[in-house]
Amino acid sequence: MEKASSRLRLLALLVAMMFIALSTRLWFLQVLAVERFTDLAQDQSIRFVPVETLRGRILDANERLIVGNRMSLEVRVNRAEMGDDTEAVLQNLAEVLDVPVRRLVQKLATDRFFARQPVPVAEFVSEKVTFYIDEHPELFPPDVVEVVPTSVRAYPRERLASHSLGHVGLIEAEQFEQLQDEGYGLNDSLGRAGLEAVYEPWLRGEAGVRRYVVNADGEVIRELGVDPPVNGHDLVLAMDLKIQRIAEQELVAGLERSRSILDDDTARYLSANGGAAVVMNPNTAGIVAMASWPDFDPEWYVRGLTQEQRRYLFESRPLLSPSSNRATQFALSPGSAFKPFVTLSALRHGVASLGRAYNCPSEYTAPGDESGAIFHNAFPADFGYLSISEALKLSCDTIFYDWGWQFYNRWTSDQLGPEPFQKDLRALGFSRPTDVDLPFESRGVVYGAADAPKNPDLFFAGQWQPGGDILISIGSSYVTTTPLQLATAYSVIANGGRLCRPHLVDRIVAPDDGTVKNVRGHCRSLRYPKSWLQYIRTALTRVTSEQGGTAYLPFLGFPHSEIPVAGKTGTAERPGHQDTSWFAAMVPANDPQYVVVVMAEQGGFGAETAAPIARRIIERIYGIEPTTNIQREGTD
């Protein structure tokens, strides 16, 4: 019995000692060893590595690649971590990159990035350079210099459609502040101009993330998993690469040819320093081609602009920057190319009628005008009485002057309500943006009485005078338009009276080839009788096909019986510059599939520069052997 009791006491002692040992160990772990185990836990952590997404491609109407992606090895420098080693790191980096130290200093001096945001200093470096930097951390500390594989834009068509496509650039500091909540990172890129900017939300995609367990030295212990990236959507354009190339080539060639023409007014050769060409489908409002010259290479933005490139794009601009799209951002007076729309308004309000004939003298003075101001015809000739069709063919200014005066006279006597002339022109899309899917569009102007007090320098005594409506009637002085606005308005005549929003993108396609969104040009009817529109189209075929038409010589020998061209020249004075040359066409005139508008800055008469360019574009679209010697004559 005593022996059993002894054993129980021994067992109780052992249990007590075990509890004492466990309690001691627990106290040790919770109190004495907490710092050690914290350090051990921190030695292993999870690292999140972003997996780059591919930006959506841009394709033409036939799904031919215009803009794609390619890989670049990019060297980035974190300025905040350089410390006392700045000079040595930059010297080492300059040697391995084979660039002057001062160039690296210039790139790092930018204020476009946050202080702790790595700054790209070199793109497209070779793998040899990458290996060297990785193998010499003593020369290139990893927290200071890193080589990052990144996807950049590729332009297999080089300069083609550069103004429309735009370009991509690294996010800037002020942009990051606004966009970080949308998932943008410090070294992400985004669209900066053109379609790249407008369709940024569709093109960008969603980055993925790969998760690793790493130790205190940053070494990977194991991978935890990956959320794959979602590539951006593709844009399929209404643009046809073939026609785009034709428009650009003929625009450049036509401007160059015109520089050999002597301008009688200035006794100098035409400068023909810039221009634009637009080809639209009037039935869908799709922009088939949009050319602007001077142009630029979007690849420059991928590699970073040099001083010379920056000077070309932003500093050397006597009239307009080469990076600006002259088709949408430059509004000039259209001259007589505006007359078809004046005709529509005159017909609508009874100022003119199709059955009447109108006197076309060489000069015009507004009835009752005490100033005696004389408005001259383009040619010092009296053409007698003309139908509206003949007035458009010969581009008789004096007939249109009288219509402009009648609008003014009836407005002042309150017979037609508040400025119906300006109201009609604005309804046709003038003096307002077309809402094309491109940024920074110019709205142009159609001045009226309400504008006079706000622009006293433009109007006599700050009041709207009859001369305002008179000059608008021939597309001069108080009206300006972009080539795209003019193309959109001519599309109204071509498609039977619908004003449509022009668009470059036809549809947006997901990475799995499913169409996400169809982009269509919203249209509204302007309720012009189709007989009027047909009459004007027929009248404009006489401009190109009948002797005396202002574009007869530039279109001499053209196969009008096969492809009738309804066109209108325009010549607009511009203070301090040579005349602006315009031509607008609808082809084929009996069932228009294309509207073609050409504008040439300082290109002289409409028949000298713009009409020959338009003819060459039309010939090549339809596979007609281009005429080698287009006749030119100084006609409106």
Residues whose CB is less than 8 angstroms from the CB of residue 27 and which lie 6 or more positions away in sequence, other chains included: none
At position 438, the amino acid (one-letter code) is: L
The pLDDT-based confidence of 348 (bands split at 50, 70, 90) is very high
Neighbours of 91 (CB within 10 A): 12
The torsion defined by the Cα of 278, 281, 287 and 288, in degrees rounded to 10, comes to: -80
Instruction: Enter the DSSP assignment of 313.
Output: I
d(CA 608, CA 47): 67
Q: What are 52-69's pLDDT values in tens digits?
A: 789 999 999 999 999 999
Burial of 371 (0-12, 13-18, 19+ CB in 10 A): exposed
Q: Rounded to the nearest 10 degrees, how much is the dihedral formed by the CA atoms of 438, 439, 445, 446?
A: 40
Of 18-22, 193-197, 466-470, the one with minimum mean pLDDT is 18-22
Domains and CATH numbers, the chain: 47-237 (3.90.1310.10)
| Arithmetic mean of pLDDT, 527-539 | 97
Distance of CA 239 to the CA centre of its chain: 13
Please name which of 190, 290, 269, 241 lies closest in space to residue 599, comparing C-alpha atoms. Answer: 290
Confidence at residue 318, expressed as pLDDT on a 0 to 100 scale: 47
Residue 352 to residue 386: CA distance in whole angstroms: 12
| pLDDT exceeds 50 at position 631 | yes
- Token duo for residue 348: 């609508």
The stretch 161-173 carries a mean pLDDT of 89
- pLDDT (tens digit, 9 = 90+) per residue, 119-148? 888 888 888 888 888 888 888 888 888 888
Beta pairing partners, 309: none
pLDDT at 30 over 80: no
**Residue 43 tokens, joined:** 């030695």
Q: What integer pLDDT is reported at residue 7 of this predicted model?
A: 64
In one-letter notation, the amino acid at residue 410 is R
pLDDT of residue 74: 85
Residues 6 or more apart whose Cβ sits within 8 Å of residue 340: 392, 490, 493, 536, 540, 568
72 three-class SS: strand
Q: What distance in Å separates the CA atoms of residue 499 and residue 210, rounded to the nearest whole number? A: 51
Q: Give me the chain's average pLDDT, please.
A: 88
List pLDDT tens digits, range 504-523.
999 999 988 788 999 988 99
Q: DSSP code of 462?
A: G
Question: What's the rounded Cα separation, in Å, for the pair 362 and 381?
Answer: 5
Q: Which residue has the higher pLDDT, 390 or 12?
A: 390
d(CA 269, CA 289): 29
Give me the count of residues in the chain.
Answer: 636
pLDDT tops 70 at residue 42: no
